[in-house]
Chain A
Amino acid sequence: MSVEIIGITVLWIFLYGYLMVASIDFGAGFYSFYAKVTDKKHSIRVVIDRYLSPVWEVTNVFLVFFFVGLIGFFPDTAYYYGTALLVPGSIALVLLAIRGSFYAFANYGVRENSIYLFLYGVSGLFIPASLSIVLTISEGGFIVEEGGHVHLLFSELFSSTYSWIVVLLSIVSVLFISASFLTYYAQRAEDNDAFQLMRKATLIWSGPTILLSFLVFLTLRTHNLEHFLAMVGEFHFFALSLIFFIGAVWLIYKQRYLGTAFIFVALQYGFAFFGYGYTHLPYILYPKLTIYESITGDEMGISLIIAFISGLILLIPSLFMLFRLFIFNADYTKAQGNK
């Protein structure tokens, strides 16, 4: 395998990791706010306290990792995306900052503050929306280069059906992924109220999730035919994704094997995400930038890969330990507020 393929695969794995852990986090923020508004105070908030607080920083690192790696492997992306994304990128950063500080301030009374809880809940939906704009832009047609200057065509972006559907899909997915995880977690914690609430939420959001996924397909056809045809050519990815989706919803409906159900959701998004990424190749920004022309030198590419592998040797056991201690630890999950 060439350096550029390894590079983009590594990055894509990290982006997928971010997609999953951040979705749980973002969705939980929204459900937490919902619980406050509807006065269902109890359960979801405890879940956030006990599961999300120890891992929020790790969530954040997945994202930082992705874009640092992207620029290390493909420095040209900095030029196009960096210039074009000044505004959406900055907005996403401010929202991320609000959320990040929330975790720190939460333990000291801010959690009960409605304004902050509102910001926390709403930012959880706006961040995926603003980040998904990057995926839309990568399909081409929104960045122009004139006389050495790069511009983002805001009006085109705002009037594009495709871009709105991607945004909606990202929001709905966040709510769906998060709910399916919290269903599992609430059951492990033997919190029946939270379990029923999250189960209902999962089932409610499953419909829009799959509907919007199909719409993304359809609108991509008019926006970027080449990519659409590539996706049709690799249809098995998306068929598998659909099968796992059906499996997950079925298990949650039946209230059985909820851990497996969440793994199915992860696989559903995994197949769709990697299928999407695979068919997007070789373009990083259609049609201006491919992985081949923007690649960093071999020496740097190889040292990045070495750094990456040695990093993984360090990270995987540590992450495993983190998850063992907080997520797959029944005693800890059940224990209520004895911090």
Chain B
Amino acid sequence: MEFDTLLLSRLLTFITLAFHIIFATIGVGLPLYICLAELIGIKRKDPYFILLARRWTRGYIILVAVGVVTGTIIGLQLSLLWPSFMQKAGHLVGLPLFMETFAFFFEAIFLGIYIYTWDRFSNPIFHWLLSIPVVIGSSASAFFITTVNAFMNTPRGFTLVDGSFLNVQPLVAMFNPATPTKVAHVLTTAYLTSGFVLASITAYFLLKGKGHVYYKKALHLSMIGCLVFSIFTMLNGDFAGKYLAKYQPEKLAAAEWHFETESRAKLLLGGILDEETLEVKYGIGIPAALSILAYNSPDAEVIGLNDFPRDLWPPLYIHYFFNIMIFSGMFLAFVAVLYFVFYYVKALNSLHPWILRGIFIGGPLAMLAIESGWIMTEVGRQPWILVGLMRTGEAVTTAGQVFEMLILFTSLYFVLGLLVPVILIRLFSKKSAETEIEKRGIIL
């Protein structure tokens, strides 16, 4: 019974968050592109970019609304499903949670104004200025909420006295060792993913034969973001690996199926694990690469899972998610670089169908990478809810109706998950870019 509630609560939290981060990621990244498009449009007096900003905003409203409602749900679910965790850690994570709400408030106010004031100012730059608080607010809320999650991975900023957390130092709790790498990774991947989602949609239209210069400009702007942020993502992904080796070696070891502590540790790509014998089949091992990833030196010793008691091992399936994330990330960076090589080498065509196909699958793949990376990091800290301090099982609710709530919320997400794409497609096909260009009298 006890176990059932735990499993169901984990499942419900998983489903809510898995659904939420789709919208949250785009909610963080998209405002940046909207803001850039509008600025370029105003500076260059280019109506296509203004139109682009307007159309992206329209899609953004729908996505952000679902992000807000699912975010509200997870905010409350934390207390509903994990009351003992919130009771114990509430006074440690209270500050960032509170600040996140402020950032969200800030974003909400200016988003409302931004959306409803196109054409209300005589000088368009005033309208553009309204987008800045939206960009800052959305990224700031990602920052604050990520510090909460970082705290759960490396709890700091208190002294443990008889099982209670005393002498709380809120800022130390917020800026714990996991914060820098996590925040950097969350933000850059959100910008990267949003860029690829936008580029993917545009590539789809180009592949379908729409050749208007509007699409080419849209694609190029989003691809610049993809290139810049894929570089940043790889860099801070490397930092994240070094962070893990130092602070959460069991997570890194589980993700890499690295059992024996050894130097010149190999990085494992792919493979299937026999959970009984702990033997890996079909994997490709790159000698010493894990040591380099962890400590920048091929001879460095990397701690293996066998150094930890078996009941503290994270589930070993996180290796698959880790690999999906890395492969997708590599693919995205490759496509982005390829696009720019083809763009700047005169003889080549950056709008070649194969590049467009690559960009097109890049959108969904980026989202898959977000989900996988998040699963890897969250499941990777099991069995802890507060690493080293509180087991997930101790935090779960004692209420008996979690199953019914699981059904309730799953149905809600199912309906929303169907409605959102239907409405987005209807919205954009009812009012295509071409008809809008014509209607607004933009000179071709």
Contact in complex: A64, B405 (CB < 8 Å) = no
Docked CA distance A122–B72 (Å)? 20
Q: Which listed residue, B62, B95, B98, B111, touches A105 by the CB 8 Å rule?
A: B62
Binds B, one of A163-171, A185-193, A204-212, A311-319: A311-319
Of the candidates A94, A148, A149, A300, the one having the most CB atoms from chain B within 10 angstroms of its own CB is: A300
A57 with B111: CB separation less than 8 A: yes
Q: Are A72 and B65 in contact (CB under 8 A)?
A: no
B-side residues, CB < 8 A to A, are 61-62, 64-66, 68-70, 72-73, 75-77, 79-84, 86-95, 97-102, 104-106, 108-113, 115-117, 133, 166-171, 397-399, 401-402, 404-405, 408-409, 412, 416, 419, 423, 426-427
Please report the C-alpha to C-alpha distance between residue A299 and residue B167 in the assembled complex, in whole angstroms.
8
The reply to whether the CB of A233 lies closer than 8 angstroms to some CB of chain B is no
Contacts A71-B90, A72-B90: A339 and B109 contacting too (C-beta < 8 A)? no
Please name all residues of chain B whose beta carbon is closer than 8 Å to the beta carbon of A67 when the two chains form the complex. Answer: 75-76, 79
The answer, among A64, A149, A308, for a CB contact under 8 Å with B104, is: A64
Query: Given known contacts A58-B109, A60-B68, A315-B102, is B95 in contact with A307 (CB within 8 Å)?
Result: yes
A54 to B402, CA, bound (A): 35
Q: Lowest 8 CB-CB distances: which A-B pairs, in order? A: A72-B94, A75-B90, A104-B65, A82-B83, A78-B86, A296-B91, A54-B112, A57-B108
> Which residues of chain B are within 8 angstroms of A151 by Cβ–Cβ distance?
399
A92 to chain B, nearest CB (A): 8
State whether the Cβ of A83 lies closer than 8 Å to any Cβ in chain B. yes
Structural contact, B105 and A65, CB atoms closer than 8 A: yes
Closest B residue to A53 using CB positions: B116
Q: What secondary structure prevails in chain B residues at the interface with A? A: helix
What are the residues of chain A within 8 A of B133 when measuring CB–CB? 318
Task: State in angstroms the CA–CA spacing of A206 and B227 once bound together.
Answer: 61
Contact (Cβ within 8 A) A75 B423: no
Is there a chain B Cβ closer than 8 Å to A117's Cβ?
Answer: no
List of B residues within 8 angstroms of A339 by Cβ: 116
* Of B66, B82, B101, B108, the contact of A104 (CB 8 Å cutoff): B66
Q: In the complex where A61-B108, A105-B62 touch, is A87 in contact with B426 (Cβ < 8 A)?
A: no
Partner of A71, one of B81, B97, B108, B405: B97
- Interface contact B70-A97, CB-CB below 8 Å: yes
B76 touching A93 by the CB < 8 A rule?
yes
CB distance from A114 to the nearest CB of B (A): 16
Stretch at the interface among A37-45, A247-255, A258-266, A320-328: A320-328
Q: CA A176 – CA B300 in complex, angstroms?
A: 71
Give the most central of B88, B104, B110, B427: most A CB within 10 Å.
B104
Distance (Å) between the CB of A61 and the closest chain B CB?
5
**Contact A96 B398, beta carbon cutoff 8 Å:** no
Whether B80 and A60, one on each chain, are in contact in the complex, defined by CB atoms closer than 8 angstroms, is no
Considering the chains assembled together, what is the distance between the CA atoms of A80 and B80 in angstroms?
10
Q: What are 6 A-B pairs at a CB distance below 8 A?
A: A64-B104, A82-B397, A83-B83, A86-B401, A299-B170, A325-B117
Chain A residues with Cβ under 8 A from B100's Cβ? 68
User: Among the interface residues A60, A78, A82, which one has the most CB atoms of the partner chain B within 10 A?
Assistant: A82
Query: Quick check: B66 and A61 within 8 Å, CB to CB?
Result: no
A297 proximity list for chain B (CB < 8 A): 91, 166-168
